[in-house]
Amino acid sequence: MEQDNRKTLFSAVQPSGILTLGNYIGAIRNWKLLMNDYRCIYALADLHTLTVKQVPAELRAHSYDLAAWYIACGIDPEKCILFVQSHVHEHAELTWVLNTITYPGELSRMTQFKDKSRSHADNVNMGLMDYPVLMASDILLYSADLVPVGADQKQHLEIARDLAIRFNGRWSDTFTVPEPYISKSGAKIMSLQDPEKKMSKSDSNVRAFISLDDDRDTIIRKFKSAVTDSGSEVRAAEDKPGITNLLTIYSCVTGKSVEEAEKEFEGQLYGQFKLAVGEAVADHLEPLKKEKDRIIKDKDYLDGVFSNGAAQAERIAGKMLSKVYRKVGLIPRKF
């Protein structure tokens, strides 16, 4: 990929199974658009998934599946760098160096560490605590100017910023201090059953989230059972989180503004509105699903994407790691 003067944007998603409508609207859908304005580097964060027990064959299958979804959603490997995190060894190596300037108290205070320690009490491992340092390495290796994050992920980006500043202060300017990139629309899609919570694939209630692999009937059925609010008006408001969430989803998949959607459903019953949202989502996802199913059948193509992406990523990451090793006093390899 040719070098240019655009700002660098880095993002990664764990290949840990189900992709939800929230993942698509909040992140992946926007990545296609971002390639026009930024030098984009996208990773499948498979090393991060190891903090939770995995079935090896399933993890490999999920990695291919996620890559197929990326490409089906418009992420063009010819216009960005798309790679598998574990294929670029510099991620793990930089993590070790950054660990030497990271304090245990910083990591133990991380909200995600506390949450996952509760939900995976039988497997509270050091990787789970060290997750933010690996994430910092992901970002800092590529001198990322911007990192798309949800409002609930800013804490991890703050660690990356702190480590960049700390390293630069101790050994001279090396890392770019990244800034958050938060989408103005659809950045946070909420649960269909509890609109006070973010939509999550780990929700025990399968009606609470839409999987990108759900068939049309399942999508519509889940929206028909979505929790709404008191009253009967279809309008966005703080006291109507259920309807606001559905309006946000409808706006994102149709391209209409929330205000236009409110006018469209003025005077209609909640049941009619929920059915329309479900149909709109199903219509939007159908062509993407067909393209994903086509791509996933061609493993040779995906392996080629991974190989090419890793080669491009490693050229950048290798230069940065060499600079870091030199700064901290390690002897460069001469053979």
State the 10-residue block means of pLDDT for the chain, 335 residues long: 78 88 87 90 95 93 96 96 98 98 88 68 82 95 91 79 97 97 72 93 91 96 95 92 95 94 95 97 97 97 98 98 97 84
Per-residue confidence (pLDDT) for residue 192, from 0 to 100: 97
- Any domain includes 38: yes
> How many folded domains does the chain comprise?
2
**Same structural domain for residues 220 and 78?**
no
**Same structural domain for residues 179 and 226?**
no
* Structure tokens belonging to residue 95: 């993590």
Contact 50/128 with Cβ under 8 angstroms?
A: no
Per-residue confidence (pLDDT) for residue 30, from 0 to 100: 82
What CATH code is carried by the domain that includes residue 32?
A: 3.40.50.620
- Any domain includes 42: yes
Task: Spot the catalytic one: 198, 222, 240, 274.
Answer: 198
Q: What is the pTM of this model?
A: 0.88
CA atoms within 13 A on the CB side of 164: 24
**Same structural domain for residues 271 and 314?**
no
**Same structural domain for residues 142 and 258?**
no
Per-residue confidence (pLDDT) for residue 331, from 0 to 100: 95
**Same structural domain for residues 116 and 169?**
yes
Per-residue confidence (pLDDT) for residue 1, from 0 to 100: 45
Q: Is 222 a catalytic residue?
A: no
Beta strands in the chain (DSSP E): 8-13, 39-44, 81-84, 146-148, 179-181
Q: What is the DSSP letter of 75?
A: -
The whole domain housing 248 covers: 206-293
**Same structural domain for residues 288 and 303?**
no
Q: Is 201 a catalytic residue?
A: yes
- Per DSSP, the three-state class of 168 is helix
Per-residue confidence (pLDDT) for residue 32, from 0 to 100: 85
- Any domain includes 304: yes
C-alpha 151/C-alpha 41 separation (Å) is: 21
- Any domain includes 191: no
Q: Which residues contact 233 (CB under 8 A, 6 or more apart)?
A: 240, 243
**Same structural domain for residues 309 and 182?**
yes
Q: What's the one-letter identity of residue 97?
A: V
What CATH code is carried by the domain that includes residue 286?
A: 1.10.240.10
**Same structural domain for residues 219 and 163?**
no
Task: Spot the catalytic one: 188, 201, 224, 289.
Answer: 201
**Same structural domain for residues 259 and 310?**
no
